[in-house]
């Protein structure tokens, strides 16, 4: 796993568990190669992909996982942005992608995260939510845990992206290099 963040490590464990039971998940420190506050699908997917590939390059694993969250512009929303997480699983040859569900941060967080300086939304959220009772849920709840009163934790939220990425690996016969998508694309 291209992170040592315990919530992300737990997300991988929870994402894999229904399919393989327990598995060993080790975290490592790698660079995402994107802004501290990713904005747009390109940055989010690139960050997750970089984390997965760098983790795999460190060796001694069957699969490597990268998770990256960020904001995606959605102009019809009141804040103009939705937060999404991306998971990339890499086995040395194939990549599998999955996305989490999306949610809006409070407007005060979005403004600072999307301004010229792009302050990481986690830092802004800490300041905006300081002193609120939801902060007592603990660090494992994450921002989404605070916003949902502990119902959806960061690990649960991330596990959805992991499970969605696993789809491609669970059905390799449906995702071969010679599979044809709409328009005849042969991208693996």
Task: Write out pLDDT tens, residues 120-172.
Answer: 999 999 898 888 777 777 667 889 999 999 999 999 999 999 999 999 999 99
Q: Quote the CA–CA distance of 97 and 51 in Å, as a whole number.
A: 13
- CATH code for the part of the protein at 6-103+155-172: 3.90.950.10
Q: Quote the CA–CA distance of 109 and 119 in Å, as a whole number.
A: 9
If pLDDT is split at 50, 70 and 90, which confidence band does 184 have? very low
Q: What are phi and psi of 39, to 5 degrees?
A: -130, 125
Mark 114-130 as b/e (b = at least 16 C-beta within 10 Å). Answer: beeeebebeebbeebbe
Average pLDDT over residues 32-43: 96
User: Angle CA(156)–CA(161)–CA(125) in degrees, nearest 5?
Assistant: 60
Q: What are 98-115's pLDDT values in tens digits?
A: 999 999 999 999 999 999
Percentage of residues in the chain having pLDDT higher than 70: 93
Does residue 183 have a pLDDT over 60? no
């Amino acid at each position: 796993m291209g992170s040592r963040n315990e919530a992300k490590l737990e997300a991988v464990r929870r994402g894999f568990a229904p399919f393989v039971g327990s598995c060993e998940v080790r975290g490592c420190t790698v660079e995402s190669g994107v802004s501290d506050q990713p904005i747009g699908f390109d940055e989010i997917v690139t960050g997750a992909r970089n984390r997965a590939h760098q983790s795999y390059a460190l060796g001694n694993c069957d699969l490597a996982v990268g998770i990256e969250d960020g904001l995606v512009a959605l102009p019809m929303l009141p804040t103009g942005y939705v937060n999404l997480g991306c998971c990339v699983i890499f086995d040395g040859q194939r990549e599998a992608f999955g996305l989490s569900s999306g949610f809006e941060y409070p407007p005060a967080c979005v403004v600072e995260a999307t301004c010229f300086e792009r302050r990481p939304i986690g830092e802004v959220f800490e300041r905006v939510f300081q002193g609120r009772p939801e902060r007592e849920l603990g660090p494992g709840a994450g921002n989404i845990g605070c916003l949902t009163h502990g119902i959806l934790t960061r690990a649960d939220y991330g596990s959805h992206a992991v499970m969605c990425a696993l789809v491609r690996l669970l059905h390799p016969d449906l995702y071969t290099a010679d599979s044809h998508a709409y328009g005849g694309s042969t991208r693996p």
